Amino acid sequence: MVTSDWKLLDSYLQHCGYERHLGALSLKAYGIDLRQFLLFISGRSDFHQVDKETLKAYLKHLFGVPLRESSVKRKITCLKGFFAFLEAEQVIEESPFHKMKFSIKIPRRLPEVMNIRDVTELITLAKQNLEKRKSTTREKIDLSSCVEHGDLVAFQDLIIIELLFATGMRVKELSSLNVGDIDLVRRLNDIGSCTG
């Protein structure tokens, strides 16, 4: 593997970030996928020498590793985009994916969702925790009074549950959400979900 391969990889990731506007998590996944492919071809060839046989061997290798079909598909899609980039940049004459078809069937898995009764119960419990304090202090429940009386956990629980329910965002998205990501005027977060 030559040093220029790593530079090409970095150039492609920059292209994905600036021109394709991929998010940080997608860029991280693409970086991992491409590095794994570089390690796979290490000692055998470089990007200029990758052919259909190399790709077939890599696909066989991926299915030999305990990976979900969706992960294999993402890795192949990433590689396909990378070689299209190399072709467009005239680093290679033609992508090895040219006239090559992959059929990776992804089993349909429906997400498990909570029923409305469970969600309502969670919100009710979180509100009851705050109401207990309100009944003893006779104060309005707001962030400043919760900070003052050390009730941040109960307030945080209520906000988390209501945000997840109202926006439909994933737990991972919520855990990486910053105050600056929320547009209070248009009631949107940076991924475009309505914050309710």
Q: What is the per-residue pLDDT across 168-179, written as a single tens digit (0 to 9) for each? A: 788 888 888 887
Domain ranges of the chain: 3-88, 116-189
Is 95 in contact with 86 (CB distance < 8 Å)? yes
pLDDT band, very low/low/confident/very high, at 145 (cuts 50, 70, 90): low
* CA-closest candidate to residue 168, choices 193, 185, 192: 193
Residue-averaged pLDDT of the chain:
77
Query: Which of 1.10.260, 1.10.575, 1.10.150, 1.10.10 is the CATH number of 3-88?
Result: 1.10.150
Buried b / exposed e over 156-180, threshold 16 CB at 10 Å, is ebbeebbbbbebebeeebeeebeee
Residues 6+ apart with CB under 8 A from 194: 166, 167, 187, 188
Res 83 pLDDT > 60:
yes
Is 116 in contact with 104 (CB distance < 8 Å)? no
